[in-house]
Amino acid sequence: MPTLSRKKFLCSCGYLIGSGLGTGMLAWLANCREHSQSKSANDSPTTKNNTLTNRTIKMEANFEPAYLKLHRTGELKKRGQQLWEIMRSCQLCPRECEVNRIEGEEGFCRASAQLEISSHNPHFGEEAPLSGRRGSGTIFFTNCGLRCVFCINWEISHGGQGAVRSLDELAQMMLHLQKIGCHNINVVTPTHYSPHIVLALDLAAAKGLRLPLVYNTCGWEKVEILKILDGIVDIYLPDFKYADGKMADKYSAGAETYPEITKAALLEMHRQVGVAKPASNGIMQRGLMIRHLVMPNNVSGTKKVVEWIAANLPRDTYVNIMSQYRPMHQAHAYPDIARPLTRQEYSNAVRWAKEAGLTNLDIQGFW
Ligand code: SF4
């Protein structure tokens, strides 16, 4: 079993997974040949580890990401241009600001057409089938259209932390993450920069990018935009944050439509990529992986969330029941969410998910 630092288990949504490495993840790590056979500092780098690396590469060589087919026909570039044109009167997300981002205007998300990126790194704190042994290739985009008051990445999403980058630089980041061995390209908070991501993906595909694309989103996505991404995204990784529009309104800047829009988005994502099943090496290559962050005082409406998933999607839909809530950013100004989750609250959430009939749960924390 490798030594995994607390820092390495910081999830891309910002929540610490490492504070309570759950039985599900531990079992996965123990069963994963790559983890179980590596990696004492005394292991010979020229024998066992290299053999494993070669085997992994061989297994993944059979995989072809969805976007390659569209790249070969020229359709990928066309889709990127189609998304780009939407920025002239921006309706990329449910805010539908109708500002002309191409002329430099900024909408609610505070993004113009100028691409801003905070970081790109291998990330070891995502769900185990995404992080694997060599990390998920995360690219954190600056700004956000949802703007939750408890956002742990608020410096990036609210505060605009990041640097202006070109499409070519974004493509180079993707290629770099592939070169250093990451298992996927994981675009974090992608919605407002979806045109840039698709156009850069086309550039990177021309230069040999072959990793699956993970669309790591808050879940509040318009179906019309998701249809443009059909055949481009390999793994959808959406949140399902709230069952109650009043909670979304209060804690996510007036996004009262969150439940209804997210439910429609999840159905469309599932239609495109289906149930998430890891490949034989334990790494996810395609499918829908839902995240539900359990919040104090049932603000997230967990019982309704899991019951809706069980009633409307296959029972073996991958659902990560997240225990990592911490009161960050402005959360202390809201009494109901001004404390961490209790053990009982998380236990209730897991029980509700099981009682609803969900069979593919990623259970973490102090369950
Ligand atoms: S992506 Fe930004 S500008 Fe466009 S509709 Fe959403 S919040 Fe408004």
Write the DSSP assignment of 87-126 as a string of letters: GGG--SSTT-----GGGT---TT---SS-EEEEEEEESSS
pLDDT at 236 over 90: yes
Q: Give the residue whose CA is nearest to atom 6 of ligand 1.
A: 93
107 ligand 1 Cβ < 6 A: yes
DSSP annotation of 326: -
Which residue from 96, 143, 146, 157 has its CB within 8 A of the most atoms of ligand 1, so it is best to mutate? 96
pLDDT at position 12, please? 43
Q: 116 pLDDT exceeds 90?
A: yes
Q: Is residue 50 part of a domain?
A: no
Arithmetic mean of pLDDT, 141-158 = 95
Q: Is the pLDDT of residue 366 over 90?
A: no
Q: And the tokens for 302?
A: 């967990």
Check pocket membership of 220 for ligand 1, CB cut-off 6 A. no
Kindly calculate the radius of gyration of the chain based on its CA atoms and give it in whole angstroms. Answer: 20
Q: Rounded to the nearest whole angstrom, what is the distance from the C-alpha of residue 107 to the centroid of ligand 1? A: 5
Give mean pLDDT, residues 146-172: 96
Residue nearest to atom 3 of ligand 1 (CA): 107
- Residue bearing tokens 């490492």: 18
Characterise 325 by phi-psi region: left (phi > 0), alpha (psi -120 to 50), beta (else): beta
Long-range Cβ contact pairs of 338-346 (< 8 A, separation 24 or more): 338/296, 339/296, 340/296, 341/294, 341/295, 341/296, 341/365, 342/296, 345/294, 345/296, 345/298, 346/294, 346/321
In a domain, 218, yes or no: yes
pTM of the full predicted structure? 0.86
In this prediction, residue 62 has a pLDDT band, given cuts at 50, 70 and 90, of confident
Give yes or no for residue 165 having a pLDDT over 90. Answer: yes
Instruction: Give the angle subtended at the CA of 106 by the CAs of 103 and 110, to the nearest 5°.
Output: 145
Half-sphere exposure of 227 (CA within 13 A, CB side): 4
Residue 54 covered by a domain = no
Asked whether residue 5 is domain-assigned, the answer is: no
| Confidence (pLDDT) at 120 | 98
Domain total of the chain = 1
Cβ of residue 218 lying under 6 Å from some atom of ligand 1: no
The DSSP code for 10 is B
Q: Does pLDDT of 298 surpass 80?
A: yes
Per-residue pLDDT band for 60 (boundaries 50, 70, 90) equals: low
How many angstroms from the chain centroid is the CA of residue 264?
A: 18
Give residue 346's domain range. Answer: 20-29+64-74+115-363
Residue 365 is classified by DSSP as: T
Is residue 231 a part of any domain in this protein? yes
Q: Does a structural domain hold residue 10?
A: no
Confidence check: pLDDT of 197 > 70 = yes
Is residue 155 one of the residues assigned to a domain? yes
Q: What percentage of the chain carries pLDDT values higher than 90?
A: 82
Distance CA 305, CA 326 (A): 20
- Ligand 1 pocket test: which of 83, 88, 91, 93 has the largest number of ligand atoms within 8 Å of its C-beta? 93
Q: Is the pLDDT of residue 61 over 80?
A: no
| Model confidence at 339: pLDDT above 90 | yes
pLDDT value for 30 = 33
Q: Please, where are the H alpha helices in the chain?
A: 23-31, 33-36, 48-61, 66-73, 75-86, 128-131, 154-157, 167-179, 194-206, 223-228, 245-251, 258-273, 302-312, 343-355
Is 308 close to ligand 1, i.e. is its CB under 6 Å away?
no
Nearest CA, atom 2, ligand 1 = 109
- 150 has pLDDT over 70: yes
pLDDT at 52: 34
Peptide bond connecting 39 to the previous residue in cis, omega within 30 degrees of 0: yes
pLDDT surpasses 80 at 223: yes
Location of structure tokens 């529009």: 245
Residue of 97, 157, 218 to mutate, ligand 1, most atoms within 8 A of C-beta: 97
The CATH number that applies at residue 256 is 3.20.20.70
**Residue 192: CB within 6 Å of ligand 1?**
yes
Judged against a pLDDT cut of 80, whether residue 53 lies above it is answered with no
| Tens of pLDDT, residues 72-87 | 999 999 999 999 999 9
The residue whose two tokens read 């999830």 is: 11
For residue 365, what pLDDT is reported? 62
Residue 264, pLDDT > 80, answer: yes
Region 239-250: mean pLDDT is 98
110 phi and psi angles, rounded to 5 deg: 70, 20
Residue 304 inside a domain? The answer is yes
